[in-house]
Chain A
Amino acid sequence: MAAKEQEGALTGYRILDLTDSKGAYCTKLLADMGADVIKIEPPCGDQGRRIPPFLNGEPHPDKSFYFLYRNANKRGVTLNMESDEGKDILRKLAKSADVLVENFGPGCMDSLGLGYDVLVGINPKLIIASITEFGPDGPWRDYRGSNIVDFALSGVMITSGYTGKAPTLLPGTPAYDAASEIADIEILAAIYCRDALGKGQKIEVSVHEAARTGLYPWSVPIYSYALNPDGPPPAIESRLGAQIFPVYPCKDGFVRVIAITPRNWQALVRVLGSPEVLMLPEWENFIYRVGNAEDLYAIMLEFTTKFTQIELWEAGFREGVPIAPIYDIPAFTNSADATARKFFVEVEHPVAGKGQYPGPPYKWTETPPTVQRPAPCLGEHNEEIYCGELGLTQDILMALRYAGVL
């Protein structure tokens, strides 16, 4: 058993990954579940290889943490899709692939002569997912997105950050990852019913729409429910994170408290030793606490700072008020929960060396997702795939490399 590679839920499926940062997480999740993801990069390499920070602060195509993390488990080839030979190779790869994911922009694959109709003519079972910033058509079709711009447009940024200061970006690439997740749901649904349908299909994902659904689908409904023709206009949405889910300092950092119901609040007061100043009945009202959060913060300090994060967390559980420590990255990495679940897994990369990587966020009994190989070096699997599978000779491979096709 140990000698055999662990079978994943998607083992046996082949995914052609033509994406950059917008789709890296999409194909990563599929690769973690066992799919054979072939990352196809231009000969100069995916721009993700240039995203800092780098291992030991040294800019290098195989040392970007962003690239290393989001492309683990994938194989990598280089291909210049603008050359005729490159197009020919892509058509050959498409023959045996189950899914192709791309994010070149509206109409780009068509203008390369590699549009849906062409590829589906080669392989009718192919599922093609296109991730665009704003959609394949429409008034903003050619608008430009970016990590911060897409997050701003998603509707959740206005709620993010400290009251009175600028809305604040969520770390990572949240809008792209939301689009990636929505794309995965559609890709997997299309795989699931492909045999019954007898054909693949085309999937369109825009970061703009997916970021809303993926990050904050409640925004519009909450507003719509607050609209009342006979009443005052709804309050404008702003940054109330610290008022609704307050943060308090303690001995060794900060904790966050989720006290919505009166029972939660009473439990919190007990956790803090039932100080009289917190027993005033008006504090039991959640809306009152939100409205007077600054005063409350000033009062709370005296009591919360007597305890450690863990003391408050565990006392909250015993008494019935959800409290959580605000951990920094090392504290979560070394936490008892992450350790017990073996969340971090060791991955060895030929250039970047050994590292502890966050693993897949779930444990499966039959087909556990794992990280079985590091991110590919640029063109690492050219020979394995182009010679081993497509049957090109070493001489041709060399000639194609010389011609700038690979």
Chain B
Amino acid sequence: MSRPLSLTALFLLLLALGALRSGAATTAHNSLDALAASAEEAFQNGRYPEAVRKFEQLAAQVPDPAVLYNLGTAQAQAGQKGMAIWRYLQAEELAPRDPDIRNNLRTLAPNLSEQLAIAPVLPIDWLYHHFTGNEWATIAGGASVLAMLLGAFYFWRSRRRGAWRWLTRGVILPLVLVAALAYPFAFTHFYYEDVLWRGVVVAEQTVARAGPSLSQIETDTLPVGTVIRIIPDDVGSGWYKFSYAGGRMGFVESSRVRPL
């Protein structure tokens, strides 16, 4: 095969692959749109279990906070209050400033904010919950990288350092302060969301027990929406060992809890 012919064939092949991929993406997007429309229609007509099922399919494919919010709302209307709280918490983790998510979460679980508080000081708690972990990391990383780059520029222009003193005082120092404020928030998000294993009680009439068995005595009742800290301990399948308010420990059936 001559070289021009080979190049033409390669070009056509790439074009065909691109068209196929674009077509596949369009088809996938259309199917998602159809699923979303179908789920919304089911919700609007009061067929909540069907809406839950369809929004769940959608959420499995697209981790969009709006999808999770709709799923939670459908679950709440279908009487699955615990599952709705769990979905709202997932949505809030992705979109913490969404007023709809916050309203519905506060309506379903009025005491949840106390359980999720990281500090007794209101501004700290508000700041922490107002941005996602990635947003805090972006603020911290952006400020620190910019401060370092400006610092490098400042040292590079050292022959006229006096003239650039405003850069140090007016820009670099505030950036360093912003980074110093934002990093603890970013790492706290990381700790609470990735390191610490937390769960929320989603089933009614959930009880804590003294051991990992239904024959063990009940030590407490766990209302729906209770946030517990799951202790990674091999206690047998179907059970979580956990701690909650006041440092108490107990065991709970894993099917009644969803990890956050």
Q: Do A and B bind each other?
A: no
Residues of B within 8 A of A (CB): none
Could you tell me which A residues sit within 8 Å of B by CB distance?
none
